[in-house]
Structures are given as structure tokens and as C-alpha cells.
Amino acid sequence: MLRLIARRVAQMLLIMATVSLILFAIFDSDQFRKRVAISELGGFGVATLSEQDYQNWLENKGLNAPFLLRYGEWLGKLAQGDFGRSLEKNVEVSTLLSERLFNTSVLAFSVLLIMVPVSLLLGVLAGMDEGSLLDRIISIGAVISTSIPQIATAVLLTVVLALGLGWVPAKSAMVDGFNFRQLALPLLTLLIYDIGYVVRMTRASMAEVMTSHYIRTAVLKGLPYWRVIMKHALRNALIVPFTLIFLQLNWLLSEVVVVEVFFQYAGFGRMLFDAAVYGDIAVVQAATLVAVGVAVFSQLMSDIVYMVLNPRVRFA
């Protein structure tokens, strides 16, 4: 098991190194360099930037050095937590990134805290008795919740809960901190889709386990039904849902872009959107590295959980 984990960690580091090299090469092109030069020199377009001014800017920034040397210096700065400075916000990217990641972490943790027990419980109840009335009700609800686009869910919740009933604010600007009322709409928007998705996967896994031979044997031996469920069925049925839940960390990071922009929630997704629109290259670089890091880390955690729950992989 330790050998497999070490191999996964090595793969994760290799992926991060490859992504960082590709990312640096993309943003090191003349097109992106000139955009940064124009922003820093106070120009309004490529036509306002003379070639001489551009060359002087490159010389002052040390961008005429060989590619590998500049890449090594960039990696060294990253290792020290120096991601550069935001052109739009005029603050250190590391400061901006830590603030926005904290806000998104609060939202993501709230989603996982509610989603995990609710979706697992509903999925197990539906899969225990495939084809029953309870199974049909839960399955239909899960299909409906995953069929509605999140932007449509956000609009519907805003119209009903914020504009209609006035229970929660329509925006989550988080100017003076935040509370549950400010989190309610983005939280519900994410939960409605994610719970339905995990419920469907849990239900399918539980239904498959319940039809296996060892479950039938345990029932025929006269073991209490709930003992069969708790001791024999759940462990195998939860392998897929638990690994899927860890992968939700990666999916949440992509889902929050739409939700945070719509509700003006000051998190990682809105920061990335604003930086892309403005052309804030340093922020886009840092956000991309963080997103890739979360993706490979969630994959690593998913593999570890799968190995812990599945003895056939652990002892292979």
C-alpha cells in the first residue's frame, strides 16, 4: 500500500511540474508580455506601446534572459510563496489568493458537511429495496435535481427565496463578513445538484451489492436484515460513493465559478473570472496552479480511500 501511495505522490509531483512548465511557456509569449507591459506602463493598447519602450521594459524586468533560467527563477519564487502582484487589485497575489480560497473553502466545507450524510443516507435507502416506492421517489428527485443547470437553479432560488419571500439576500458580497443568510443561496445551488448526483451513484452501488451472492447467502442463513446491511453490504457499497466524494473537491472548484459570479460571492471562482476578464496574468497563473493542485490532490485522496476500503487493491 505504501508503495502505491508513493507512486501516486510521484505522479502528482510530475503532473504539477509539467503543468507549471506549460503554464509558464503560455504566459511567457510576446502576446501576454505586451499586455502586462501596456498595463504597467499605462497604455491603452498595443498601438500605444513603441518597440523601444517594450524592449526597455523587458530589459528592466529581466525577461531577456534564457527561458530555462527565467523558469527556474519563477519556480523559486513560487516555492517562497511569491506569486507576483495583481495588476487589477494592486495587491500581492498570495494575499488575494489566501483570502478568496478561505471564502471558497467555507462554502465548499458547508456543501460537503451537508451533502455527505444526506446523499449517502438517501442513496443507501433507495438501493436497499430496488424498485420500491421509496426508491422511485428518491431516484426521481435525484434525476430532476441533476437535470437542471446550476445557473437555472440559481435564478429560480433567487426569484423565490430572495425577491419573492425576502428570506435571504440576493447577493453574497461579503463586504462586512458573512453569515448563514449570505451563504444560503450559493450553498443551496451547489447542494441541489451535488446531492442528486451522489445519491444516484450511491443508489446504483447499493443496488448492485444487494443482488450479490454473499448478501443472498447471509439473508438465507437467517441473519437479521439490518445486520446484513450494516456488516456486509455497506462496506462494499460505499467504496464508489466515498471515492466519488473526494473527487467532488475538484468538481466544486469548477462549479463555484458560475455560482460565485452569479451571487457576487468573493471567492476563488469569482477571482479567477475577474482576472480572466481583466487580463490579470499573475492571478490567472496562480489560480490555475491551485486548481490543478486541488485536482491531483483529490485524485490522490480518492485512490488512498479506495485502497483502504478495497482489500483486493490494498494487498495486491
* pLDDT band of 46, cuts 50, 70, 90: very low
Question: What is the Cα–Cα distance from 243 to 260, expressed in whole angstroms?
Answer: 26
Q: Return the higher-pLDDT residue of 111 and 173.
A: 111
How many Cβ atoms are within 10 Å of 114's Cβ, its own excluded?
A: 16
How does DSSP assign 205-246, residue by residue? HHHHHHTSHHHHHHHHTT--HHHIIIIIIHHHHTHHHHHHHH
CA distance 211 to 95: 53
**Residues with Cβ within 8 Å of residue 163, at least 6 apart in sequence:** 170
Collapsed DSSP state (helix, strand, coil) of residue 92? strand
CA-based nearest residue to 108, from 310, 290, 277: 290
Which pLDDT score is estimated for 291?
Answer: 84
Residue 206: name the closest of 244, 239, 248, 243 by CA: 239
pLDDT attached to residue 263:
86
Reply yes or no on whether the pLDDT at 239 is more than 80. no
pLDDT at 7: 76
Average pLDDT over residues 9-24: 82
User: What confidence category does residue 95 fall into, taking pLDDT thresholds of 50, 70 and 90?
Assistant: confident
CA atoms of 172 and 154, how far apart (whole Å):
13
- CA nearest 310: which of 235, 200, 260? 235
pLDDT(34) > 80: no
pTM comes to 0.77
Q: What pLDDT was estimated at residue 247?
A: 72
pLDDT at 179: 64
Distance in angstroms between the alpha carbons of the first and the last residue of the chain: 8
Q: What is the arithmetic mean of pLDDT over 51-78?
A: 75
Share of the chain above pLDDT 90, in %: 1
Q: What is the CA radius of gyration of the chain?
A: 25
pLDDT band at 10 (very low <50, low <70, confident <90, very high): confident
What would the pLDDT profile of 116-142 be if each residue is shown by its tens digit? Answer: 889 888 988 888 878 888 889 998 998
pLDDT greater than 80 at residue 207: yes
Confidence of residue 312 (pLDDT cuts 50, 70, 90): low
Residues in the chain: 316
> How would residue 175 be classed by pLDDT, with cut points 50, 70 and 90?
very low
Task: Report helix angle 180-210 to 133-147, nearest 10.
Answer: 130
Q: What is the pLDDT of residues 158-168, one digit of tens each?
A: 888 888 887 77
Nearest partner of 309 among 209, 249, 246, 236, judged by Cα: 236
* CA–CA gap between residue 76 and residue 183 (Å, rounded): 37
Using the predicted structure, report yes or no on whether residue 237 has a pLDDT greater than 70: yes
Give the CA distances from residue 146 to residues 114, 177, 190, 198, in Å, rounded to whole numbers and listed in that order: 17, 31, 11, 10
Count other C-beta atoms under 10 Å from residue 35's C-beta.
19
Contact status, residue 3 vs residue 261, Cβ threshold 8 Å = no
Mean pLDDT of 267-296: 83
Q: Where are the alpha helices (DSSP H) in 28-66?
A: 30-41, 51-61
- Band of the pLDDT at 268, cuts 50, 70, 90? confident
Q: What is the mean pLDDT of the chain?
A: 79
Q: Which of 11-15, 42-46, 287-291 has the lowest mean pLDDT?
A: 42-46
Asked if 137 and 145 count as a contact pair (C-beta separation under 8 A), the reply is no
